[in-house]
Structure 1
Amino acid sequence: MTDHETADETEFEPSEYDLTIERTFDAPRERVWEAWTDPEQVAQWWGPKGFTVPNCEMDVRPGGSFSIDMEAPDGTIYPDEGVFHEVDEPERLVVTSRAFEDDDGDFQLEVRQTVTFADRDGVTELTLEAEVLTATPEVAEAIDGMEQGWSESLDKLEAYVGQSASDAK
């Protein structure tokens, strides 16, 4: 059992999983923005190490939706879907994602992510804030790894935008 897991639902506090990650990318802000908002590019880096994205659909506009399927190394598909609330190109995205649908069709996890892209003399400072809006104790183990999963995804994004920038030269 992890620190967050508990058998007693009254002790489970989803907000304990909120996190903020800051990362600097050696790539122009517009390049990082495109990698984050173009579904073909998102499919190249999304998900923790070893995961792939067999399906990625995005309608990047306020009120637009997205659907991303992550495939684990063991073949398990983890669907994630949600909606864009704010799209301020190339500075800010606010989305809510929902995952872990139960047998009744209810999502066991809902997270609001705010991603900001700051231009710092040709490099990009990205800040990701993840606020867990709802979570059931059944997904505690999965969200216990949320920070590591985001960190590994951002590692893949860093490699992707660096590679893509060098390919363009």
Structure 2
Amino acid sequence: MSETAHVTNETAGRVLTIRRLFNAPPALVFDAFTDPKRMLQWMGPRDYPASYVESDLRVGGSWRACLDSAASGEKLWHGGVYQKIVPGRHLAFTFAWDQESGITVGLETLVDITFEAQNDKTLMTFRQSIFDTPENCSSHVQGWNSAFDRLQELLEQD
């Protein structure tokens, strides 16, 4: 009797990848992801802008933010730990939704971002993985893209 092996892609639909070309050099885009004052200016979708950001930018250091809905008053806390930091080139950190108290209540994912110089612009490749379901993954697409639209506007002001 022969056995048949079935190969499946267990991460199908559970990895979010977004590529954006920003009209700014890599050092400036990287700074927007790591300086809490800059993060407050773009982090979060338009309808849930960040109202609080703290960051201990070092491998093993933590970050934390709160997104606020102007319409409902809902607060969405989230945070994580920095895994890799290469100024102007690469940033990786964990990401999980939590409570105001800091207790993690959501699935922890890994956000891995590269910043590649394209003349005087930056090609950002943003990857967040691995989500528990394809639906949970796709629910982050609109939020991140809205935040990246806000980031582009901020970078155009510099």
Q: Partners of 2:108 and 2:60 in 1: how far apart?
A: 16
Where do residues 116-131 of structure 1 align in structure 2 (5 Å cutoff)?
A: 116-131=114-129
Give the secondary structure class of the aligned counterpart of 1:108. coil
- Runs (4+) off by over 4 Å: 140-143
Counting helix residues as a fraction of each chain, which structure ranks higher? Answer: 1
| Aligned CA-pair RMSD | 2.0
Question: What is residue 48 of structure 1 aligned with on the other side?
Answer: 45
Q: Partners of 1:15 and 1:60 in 2: how far apart?
A: 32
Of 138, 150, 153, the residue aligned with 1:156 is 150
Q: Which has the larger radius of gyration?
A: 2
Question: What is residue 114 of structure 1 aligned with on the other side?
Answer: 112
Tell me the CA shift for residue 71 of structure 1.
Answer: 0.6
> Normalised by the size of structure 1, how large is the TM-score?
0.78
For 1:115, the aligned partner's letter is: I
Whether the 8 Å contact between 1:20 and 1:127 is mirrored in structure 2 is: yes
Where do residues 138-149 of structure 1 align in structure 2 (5 Å cutoff)?
A: 143-149=137-143
Note the alpha carbon deviations across 1:1-46, whole angstroms, 9 max, x for none. xxxxxxxxxxxx8863311100000111111111111001001100
Tell me the CA shift for residue 53 of structure 1.
Answer: 1.5
Structure 1, unpaired ranges of 5+: 1-12
Give the secondary structure class of the aligned counterpart of 2:13. helix
Whether the 8 Å contact between 2:11 and 2:130 is mirrored in structure 1 is: yes
> Normalised by the size of structure 2, how large is the TM-score?
0.83
Structure 2, unpaired ranges of 5+: 1-9
For 2:139, the aligned partner's letter is: G
Give the secondary structure class of the aligned counterpart of 1:154. helix
Note the alpha carbon deviations across 1:80-118, whole angstroms, 9 max, x for none. 0100000011100010011145xxx55222110100001
Whether the 8 Å contact between 1:100 and 1:109 is mirrored in structure 2 is: no
Using the TM superposition, name which of 14-23 and 117-126 deviates more: 14-23
Aligned residue-pair number = 145
Whether the 8 Å contact between 1:45 and 1:153 is mirrored in structure 2 is: yes
Residues 1:65 and 1:158: Cα distance change in structure 2 (over 3 Å): same
Note the alpha carbon deviations across 1:26-73, whole angstroms, 9 max, x for none. 111111111111001001100112222121001111001001001122
